Amino acid sequence: MSLYAFLGTLEIGFIYGLVAMGVYLTFRILDFPDLTVDGSFTLGAAATAALIVSGVNPYLATLLGTLAAACAGIVTAWLNLRFNILHLLASILTMTALYTINLRVMGKPNLALIMEPTVLTPFEDLGIPAMYLKVIFVAVCAIIGGLLLSWFLYTQYGLAMRAVGSNKRMAQANGIVVKEKVYVGLALSNGLVGLAGALFAQTSGFADSTMGIGTIVVGLAAVIIGESLFGTKSILVVVLSCILGSILYRIAVSMALNADFLGFQASDLNLLTAVLVTLSLIFPKLRSEYKAKKAKRKKV
Amino acid sequence: MRLSSIFKSAVVSTLLVSSALQAKPVYIATTAIVEHPALDAVRDGIKQALNDNGYSGDNLKFTYESAQGKPDIASQIARKMVGENPDIIVAIATPSAQAAVTATKTIPVVFSAVTDPLAAKLVPTLEQPGGNVTGLSDMANIKEHFTLIKEFVPNLKVLGIPYNPGEANAVSMLESAKVVAEKMGIKIVEAAAPKSSDVMIAAKQLVGKADAIYCPIDNTIISAVESVIKVGIDAQVPVFAGDTSTVERGAIAAVGYNYFDLGRQTGDIVVRILKGEKPGSIDVKMAKGTDLYVNPKMAKRMGIEVPKAVLEKATKIVK
C-alpha cells in the first residue's frame, strides 16, 4: 500500500470511527438497535453541503448538519417511546423517510463541494500538504469525539444511561428517567454519525443521496473488530477501539482492493471484505481457545 | 559492506533490465461507481481505444476498480489510485469522478459517463476547463430519442419515464426531457424507482397512463431494465431506451451511442493526454452517436410493428 493510499485509508477510518462510536452508544450502551444511521449519515452530509453551497460558514454548517442528524435520532426515539413502535422498525421508518428528506435538503441527488470552502480551508495556508492535513484534522476530531464520549459515559448522567441499557427495570426502580436517557442517547449517537457524514462530504468533495447505504454495517463491523481485538475492560478503551476497529476495517477494504494479484476481480470486493472482517473476528477467539487448551494440558 | 554491495548490484541490474525494456509502461487507472453492462462497456471501450493507439500488452498497465455502489469506497479507491501515481485516472460516473477530482490536483483525471459535469463541479467550464480534469459527458440528445419514439407511436401523447430520483444523472436528464417534451407536445409521466428492486413497480405504475415507456440512461433503471421490458410485454406498452445496449436486452429501439463507443471516445481523450496535451486545454466532449438499434421481435411482443423507414435506417437489427 502506498503512503497516499494508507493516509486515505486512515482518513476514512477516522471519519467512520465517529460512526462506530455512535453505533456503540446505541447497540452496546443503550441496547437499542438503531438503523437510523444509514439516513442520518447522509443527512449530516446533505445539510452541511447544502448550507455550505448557500454560503454559510463551514463550521456553522457542520454544527447544524450534526444537529439535524441528532434530531433524526430523536424522531426514532419518539416513535419508539411514544407509540411503542419496535425500535428496529422505528429506526427503519426514520431511515426511509430520511432518504426523501435528504433529496429535498440537497434539492438534487448530488451536491459537489469540490470548489467550496470547507472546515479545512482555514488550515490550508499552514503549509501542511493536503494529504496530511485531512488525516490530522479528522484524527483530531475522532479522538476528541472519543474522549468526550467516554468522559460523558463516566459522568453521573452517563452512568445512568449505561444502567438503562443493561437493566431497564432496575434503572427505573433506582429513580432513573429511562425515556429521557434513550432520547439523549439516540440524539448523541446520530449526532456523531451526522458529524461523520459532514466531515466525509467535506473531505471527499461531495454529498450524494446514496452515501449512507450500509453505514450501519460499517459501524457495527468497526465496533466488533475493535471489541474483539482490544477487549471491553474499560469504556475509554472500548470507545477508542471503535476508531481502531474502523481503521482496521478500512485497511481490510484496501487489501481487498489490492487483491488483483490473487486473481480476484473488482466485483469480489464485498466478499473479500466480509472474509477479512470475519477473520479478524475469529482470530481472538481462536487464540483464546488455543491458550485455554494449552493451559489445560499443563494442568494435566 | 556485503549488504550494500548486493544492494548496489541489484540496483545496477534493475537499471540494465529496465533500460533493455525501454520506456516503462503507461499506467491507466480506471474506476466506476458500480458495475453494470453499460459502465463495463465504457471501460472496455477505453481499453480498446488505447489498444488501437498502440498502448497494449507490455507497454500498458490498465487497472479497474468498482466501488460497488458505495461512495465511501469510491473515495477510498480514489485515494488508493492517487497513491499509485498513475499517468491518468479515468473515473466513470459522477461520484467516482468527484472522488477522483478531490483526491488529486496534479494527476490528469478523465471522467466519463457523467451527464452534467458542470453541476457535479468537476470542471468550471466545458471549453478549456484548465487544471487537471477533462472528460466526456453522456448527456443524451433527448430530442433525437423522442423523435424516434414518435416514428413508432405517431400519436404519442404521454410518455412514461421511470427514473431514480436519487441519481444525479437521471435527474438532470429528466429536467431536460421535460423541456424537450413540452416543445414536442408530449406530456411526461414520471415514476420513481429509488432501488433496482423498485423498478418493476415503477414500470407498472406507468401502465394505463403512458402510450410508451422511455428508459433513460439511469444506472438504477438500466441495471433492472428487464423488469420494465417484462411489464411492457405483459401490458402491451412499447418500451424504448436512451442507449443502444439496452435494445440488445429487449427495448424496442434506441438512437445514440452505445457505451462501448462512449468508452472509445473517452479513450481518445486519454490518448491525447498521453501524447502530451494538457487535460485543461482539452474541451469537455459531448458523447457522439449515430447508432440506431432496433429489436423487431420485441416490438412485436409489445404489440407494435417497426416502421419500414426505421428498419432501413437501422445500423443494427437485433435478432
**Domains in chain B: boundaries:** 26-139+258-289, 142-257+291-317
Topology adopted by domain B142-257+291-317: Rossmann fold (3.40.50)
Task: Quote the mean pLDDT of chain A.
Answer: 90
Mean pLDDT, residues A141-146:
97
Residue A237 burial (10 A CB sphere; 0-12, 13-18, 19+): middle
**Topology alike, domains B26-139+258-289 and B142-257+291-317:** yes
Q: Between chain A and chain B, how many beta carbons pairs sit less than 8 Å apart?
A: 131
- Residue B15, pLDDT score: 47
Residue A128 region, left (φ>0) first, then alpha (ψ -120 to 50), else beta?
Answer: beta
Which range has the worst mean pLDDT, A16-20, A284-288, B198-202, B313-317?
A: A284-288
Using CB atoms, which residue from B76, B165, B194 is nearest to A254? Answer: B76
Question: With contacts defined as CB-CB under 8 Å, which chain B residues touch A44?
Answer: none
Q: Do B72 and A200 touch (CB under 8 A)?
A: yes
What strands lie across the sheet with B285-286, from one edge to the other? B60-66, B26-32, B88-92, B109-114, B133-137, B285-286
Plot region of B265 (φ>0 → left; ψ -120 to 50 → alpha; else → beta): alpha
ipTM tops the 0.90 cut: no
Q: Where are the domains of chain A?
A: 3-267
Q: Which residues of B touch A258 (CB under 8 A)?
A: 80
DSSP state of B303: T
Residues in chain B: 319
- If one compares A161 and B5, the residue with the highest pLDDT of the two is A161
User: Highest mean pLDDT range out of A1-10, A162-171, A252-261?
Assistant: A162-171
pTM (two decimals): 0.79
Residues 7-36 of B with CB under 8 A from A: 35
CB A190 within 8 A of CB A70: yes
Summarize pLDDT for A61-102 with one digit per residue, the tens.
Answer: 999 999 999 999 999 999 999 999 999 999 999 999 999 999
Q: Does domain A3-267 have CATH number 3.40.50?
A: no
Cell of residue B45, nine digits? 471501450
Q: What is the sign, positive or negative, of the torsion defined by CA atoms of A231, A236, A241, A246?
A: positive
* pLDDT score for B19: 44
- Helix (H/G/I), strand (E/B), else coil: B147: helix
pLDDT, mean of each 10-residue run, chain B (319 residues):
52 47 82 88 95 93 91 92 95 95 95 92 95 91 91 95 89 91 95 87 91 92 90 94 90 88 94 96 87 94 93 91
Interface test with B, best of A98, A120, A257, A267 (most B CBs within 10 A): A257
- B26-139+258-289 to CATH, choices 3.40.50.2300, 3.40.50.300, 1.10.730.10, 3.30.420.40: 3.40.50.2300
pLDDT confidence of residue B16: 47
- Rounded Cα distance between A223 and A230, Å, is 10
- Strand B26-32 to strand B187-192: parallel, antiparallel, or no bridges (unpaired)? unpaired
Least Cα distance to A97 among A51, A42, A48, A23 occurs for: A42
Interface residue of B84, B89, B115, B121 to substitute, partner A, most A CBs within 10 Å: B121
Per DSSP, the residues of B195-244 read SGGGHHHHHHHHTTT-SEEEE-S-HHHHHTHHHHHHHHHHHT--EEESST
B152: left (phi over 0), alpha (psi -120 to 50) or beta: alpha
The A-side interface with B (CB below 8 A) comprises: 1-9, 11-12, 16, 99, 103, 108-110, 112-115, 200, 203-206, 208-211, 213-214, 218, 250, 253-254, 257-258, 260, 266-267, 269-270
